[in-house]
Structure 1
Amino acid sequence: MTKPRIALIIGSTRETRFADKPAAWLLEKAQARTDIDVELVDLRDYDLPLFNEVASNMWAPSQDPNVLKWQKKIAEFDGYIFLVAEYNHSITGALKNALDQAYVEWVHKPMAAMGYGGVGAARAVEHLRGIGVELQMAPIRHAVHLGGGELMKVHPMGQDGPMSEVDEVLAPSATAMLDDLVWWANATMAARAEDQAKAA
Structure 2
Amino acid sequence: MTKIGIILGSTRPGRNGEAVAKWVLDIASKRTDAEFELIDLLDYKLPHLDEALPPAMGQYSNPHTLEWAAKIGSFDGFVIVTPEYNHSTSGVLKNAIDYLFAEWNNKAVGFVSYGSVGGARAVENLRLVAGELMMADVRAQLALSLLTDFENYSTFVPTERHEQVLDTVLDQVVTWSEALAHLRQPVAA
Which of the numbers 176, 183, 189 marks the counterpart of 1:184? 176
Which of the numbers 133, 136, 142 marks the counterpart of 1:135? 133
Which of the numbers 160, 164, 171 marks the counterpart of 1:172? 164
Contact 2:89 2:126 in 1 (8 A): yes
Q: What CA RMSD, in Å, does the superposition of the two structures yield over aligned residues?
A: 1.5
Tell me the secondary structure at the aligned position of residue 125 of structure 1.
helix
Contact 2:82 2:119 in 1 (8 A): yes
Deviation at 1:148, TM superposition (A): 4.9
Contact 2:6 2:81 in 1 (8 A): yes
Alignment correspondent of 1:49: 47
Tell me the number of residue pairs that the alignment of Structure 1 and Structure 2 aligns: 189
Of stretches 11-20 and 55-64 in structure 1, the one that deviates more from structure 2 is 55-64
Deviation at 1:186, TM superposition (A): 0.7
Gap change, CA 1:89 and 1:9, over 3 Å in 2: same
Alignment partners' CA distance in 2, 1:29 and 1:76: 21
Contact 2:10 2:83 in 1 (8 A): yes
User: What amino acid is aligned across from residue 187 of structure 2 in structure 1?
Assistant: A
1:40-97 deviations in whole A, cap 9, x for unaligned? 0011111001112122232250111111110110000000110000000000000000
Can you give the 5+ residue segments of structure 1 that lack an aligned partner in the other structure?
Answer: none
Alignment correspondent of 1:120: 118
Question: Following superposition of structure 1 onto structure 2, how do residues 1-200 of structure 1 map, counting pairs within 5 Å?
Answer: 3-153=1-151, 155-156=153-154, 160=155, 163=157, 166-193=158-185, 196-198=186-188, 200=189
Question: More strand by proportion, 1 or 2?
Answer: 2
Question: More helix by proportion, 1 or 2?
Answer: 1
Contact 2:55 2:98 in 1 (8 A): no
Alignment partners' CA distance in 1, 2:184 and 2:151: 42
Deviation at 1:16, TM superposition (A): 1.8
Contact 1:56 1:100 in 2 (8 A): no
Tell me the secondary structure at the aligned position of residue 15 of structure 2.
coil
* Identity percentage of aligned residues: 37
Contact 1:117 1:151 in 2 (8 A): no
Deviation at 1:172, TM superposition (A): 1.6
Tell me the secondary structure at the aligned position of residue 155 of structure 1.
coil
Alignment partners' CA distance in 1, 2:90 and 2:146: 20
TM-score by length of 2: 0.94
